[in-house]
Amino acid sequence: MIEINLLLTEIIDNNLWINKISMDNSEIFNLTAPATARWKKDSINATHISFNLANHRIIRQMVSTQDASKFLNSSVTQGDETQRVSKIEELKEVSSQLVFLRKRHDRNKADNGVYDNVLEKLKKELEQTEKMEARTGLKLDTMKEKAKEMEDRLREFKKKQDDAEMTRKAYEHIIERMKMTKINLEKRSLSLNKSLKNGQQTLREELDKQRRTREAKIQTKEALKNLEAYASREKSEKQEKLDIIEKDVKQKQETSRKREERFYRQLEIAEAAANEDRNMRALQMREGLLCHRLWFIYLQKKLKYEMERSSSIEEAFQQVRSITGLNDAQEMVEKYLTREQIYGDLMETINDSKQKIADYIQRNDEILEKINSLEMTKLEGNNPAKQMSQEATKSFQEISVEKDRLRRIRSVYENIKIWAGKNLRKLGGKPVNPDSKLIDQVITIKDKVKEALKRIKENNQTIISPNVAYPKNLTDLLPEKNLYRIRLLSSDLNQTEEDEGKLMQSLAQNNETPDIIARSQKSALANKP
């Protein structure tokens, strides 16, 4: 392209030079040649002058325009706009331009030959005119005037030549400016491409973050659904257990009612048999009946006295059984004594799980940072992230396992909290706040149990005296004749009284209950989250 531009500048300079010479020669020709010759020469000069004026107009437009792209499109950078065109098309275009320039050069060369011939003819005609002038003897003034005119034309010719030189320099300066503009535009395009790549990278990172947040939300929704299903299942199981317990209670009440009816029927039958059996032993039987009735009245009063005496024990046992739902006194005491240990173990497990979850979350954050750094290196051309991605998946699996474990522990914690609230309501405490902590409820239950034990101690001081040897069964406190009536009423009551006696005996012999409660309170406060 530079060579083509140089050829164009040389052709334009040659055309300007030839035009100037032809203009000067045409003026001489007009003065000396005949009319027919002058008419022909004027027509030829007019065509060349119009051609040269068109060239000058194009150059003035190139110089005066402020839009570099138009100038490049019109003169220099016609091949730069077609950078995306294939090589073959570019070669075709260059060859076509060279052919056009060659033809134009040949045409200019032919015109120059014609102009040289015309110039030689003009010279010959000038010589003839000089000879004619010498022959005719023109005056010296006319010759001086012609010489002045020739000098003026020569000055005009030099002035035009200077203008052409300035135009050429301006053209070269514009070309240099266009090259600089092209370089600046290329730099700007490179910077814009770089910023575009950075924007695309940030866009990919944001899309990855959005995808991870959506996955986390979906996982939390699934966990919530599983938790709700688990809660509903636990609720249904508890309802089934309550139904079974109510059914058992109703069956026991029905059996006790039937047993009492059977007992009264037996009494009626015995009385009817006694009325029918009026034989010789009627008097003996009457005496025996009176004696037995007297003994029965005595035993009834004694039984009433003993029942009033042990009413506090019965109330305490009924309260404990209604709160815990247990019938075995030994089991009641064992669960009461081991409750704090179980709660402490559970709190330790929860704290360990929380610590592990925090550690896994920290490790997860570190692994995510490593993954992001490895993704950046991968975009640069390296791909060493396969092993790290495998480790990340393993860590995610471990975190999911720990999350499941934490969910189960929380469900157990909520069940214990509900159980504590129910027991607190049964003990007659204040309404349970749903936001209250489990340790506060347990401490309240302890205080209530302690108050109940103190009331029992105030009602009957001998119940919790460690120096008194309590029987293994409450039936040992009654005479042997009372056992007959108790066995007739219910064979199951013996077991109940035995459990009741064991509970009271354990409470009486274990005089360290307040100390145990205090120690359990301290351990619970130490394990409080």
Give the residue, 413 or 305, on which the prediction is more confident: 305
Determine the average pLDDT of the residues in 157-174: 85
pLDDT digits (tens, 9 = 90+) for 230-262: 888 888 888 888 888 888 888 888 888 888 888
Q: Which of 296, 306, 279 is nearest to 474 (CA)?
A: 306
Which of 51-55, 140-144, 249-253 has the least mean pLDDT?
51-55
Confidence band, pLDDT 50/70/90 cuts, at residue 39: very low
DSSP code, position 478 = S
Q: Which of 231, 180, 178 is nearest to 62 (CA)?
A: 178
Taking 60 as the threshold, does the pLDDT of residue 299 lie above it? yes
Confidence band, pLDDT 50/70/90 cuts, at residue 435: low
Give the residue, 74 or 230, on which the prediction is more confident: 230
- Please tell me the distance from the alpha carbon of residue 415 to that of residue 422, in angstroms, as a whole number: 11
Through-space distance between the first and last CA atoms of the chain, rounded to whole angstroms = 84
256-260 long-range contacts, CB within 8 A, separation 24+: 256/490, 259/489, 259/490, 260/489
Taking 60 as the threshold, does the pLDDT of residue 363 lie above it? yes
Confidence band, pLDDT 50/70/90 cuts, at residue 510: very low
- Please tell me the distance from the alpha carbon of residue 221 to that of residue 226, in angstroms, as a whole number: 9
Taking 50 as the threshold, does the pLDDT of residue 113 lie above it? yes
- What percent of the chain shows pLDDT beyond 70? 63
- Please tell me the distance from the alpha carbon of residue 145 to that of residue 150, in angstroms, as a whole number: 9
- Please tell me the distance from the alpha carbon of residue 324 to that of residue 294, in angstroms, as a whole number: 43
Enumerate residues 6+ apart whose C-beta is below 8 A from 487. 494
3-state secondary structure of 327: coil
Residue 340 CB coordination number (10 Å): 20
- Please tell me the distance from the alpha carbon of residue 247 to that of residue 251, in angstroms, as a whole number: 6
Taking 80 as the threshold, does the pLDDT of residue 161 lie above it? yes
Supply the angle between the helices 140-276 and 480-489 in degrees, to the nearest 10.
120
Taking 80 as the threshold, does the pLDDT of residue 48 lie above it? no
- 370 touches 388 (CB < 8 A): yes
Confidence band, pLDDT 50/70/90 cuts, at residue 359: confident
Distances (CA, A) of 478 to 47, 310, 458, 493: 154, 11, 24, 14
Q: Which of 458, 435, 455 is nearest to 447 (CA)?
A: 455
At position 36, the amino acid (one-letter code) is: T
Per-range mean pLDDT, top range of 78-92, 232-246, 378-392, 424-438: 232-246
Enumerate residues 6+ apart whose C-beta is below 8 A from 392. 367, 368, 371
pLDDT digits (tens, 9 = 90+) for 375-416: 776 666 555 556 666 777 777 778 878 888 888 888 887 878
DSSP code, position 381 = T
Confidence band, pLDDT 50/70/90 cuts, at residue 139: low
Greatest C-alpha distance within the chain: 214
- Please tell me the distance from the alpha carbon of residue 173 to that of residue 179, in angstroms, as a whole number: 10
Q: Give the global pTM.
A: 0.21
Confidence band, pLDDT 50/70/90 cuts, at residue 306: confident
Taking 60 as the threshold, does the pLDDT of residue 81 lie above it? no
Q: Average pLDDT, whole number, for the chain?
A: 70
Q: What tokens does 397 get?
A: 């699996």
- 369 touches 385 (CB < 8 A): no
pLDDT digits (tens, 9 = 90+) for 169-208: 888 888 888 888 889 888 888 989 888 889 889 898 999 8
Give the residue, 298 or 483, on which the prediction is more confident: 298
